[in-house]
Structure 1
Amino acid sequence: MSESLASEQCQACRPDSPTVTGTDAAALLEELPGWQIVVRDGMEQLSGDFEFPNFADALAFTNRVGALAEEADHHPAITTEWGRVNVRWWTHSIGGLHRNDFIMAARASGAATP
């Protein structure tokens, strides 16, 4: 996990805010081991899979990510299964990736171990 990226503050995002693409996205992605950029519903999203030994640990991680999302007022799609959680970040208002998504992915990675 990128400590410096996780420590950045999310900025207010407007519909005309630029998306992060190309080499900028690739450079930020290098700071996020285990994350990848996927295209879903025509939008680039950051997707990270996390594995746990049981459902209780997966659910606890989901709740930690939820608390981080509430604190930043930036919310991911989260799928929680037995022993596995998928987290996807993107910015609805711009239809793609914003630096905030990379910041929140770094924070989610940090929440994987309590």
Structure 2
Amino acid sequence: MKLDSTALQEALSKLDGWQGNDSGISREFMFPSYADGVAFALKVTLLAEKSNHHPDALTISWKKVKVVYVTHDAGGVTELDLQAASKVNALV
């Protein structure tokens, strides 16, 4: 079930580094090298496969990786997205 704006903002206040709105949540992670960012992105990919909940976007840039979650079937951000974001935070 899609979270309303109030519930989403309350949840994001407890989720280190994540921001967003009804259309999705995101966080940008910084790394000391490009290779470290790629390794992190692979960990996010494996986590997504294991949990069967995939990021909407996983963007690898120079020394940074941006992760975006939204549940398209629900038309916005759900508890699944928040749980996935929390698990991604635990990878760092």
TM over 0.5, shorter chain: yes
Please identify the structure whose Cα radius of gyration is greater.
1
Residue 75 of structure 1 corresponds to 54
Q: CA deviation at 1:110?
A: 0.9
Q: CA deviation at 1:27?
A: 1.6
Question: Given residue 35 of structure 2, which amino acid in structure 1 is its aligned partner?
Answer: A
Q: CA deviation at 1:51?
A: 0.1
In 2: Cα distance, 1:22 partner to 1:52 partner: 31
Question: Given residue 72 of structure 1, which amino acid in structure 2 is its aligned partner?
Answer: S
1:21 aligns with 2:4: yes
1:59 aligns with 2:38: yes
TM-score of the pair, normalised by structure 1 = 0.75
CA RMSD for the aligned pairs?
1.1
SS at match of 2:20: strand
More helix by percentage: 2
Residue 32 of structure 1 corresponds to 15
Q: CA deviation at 1:22?
A: 2.0
Q: CA deviation at 1:92?
A: 1.2
Alignment of 1:75-94 (within 5 A): 75-76=54-55, 77-94=57-74
Question: Given residue 89 of structure 2, which amino acid in structure 1 is its aligned partner?
Answer: S
In 2: Cα distance, 1:22 partner to 1:109 partner: 22
- Aligned-pair identity in percent equals 35
Would you say how many aligned residue pairs link Structure 1 and Structure 2? 91
Question: Given residue 50 of structure 1, which amino acid in structure 2 is its aligned partner?
Answer: F
In 2: Cα distance, 1:31 partner to 1:104 partner: 14
Gaps of 5+ in 2: none
TM-score of the pair, normalised by structure 2 = 0.92
Q: CA deviation at 1:26?
A: 1.5
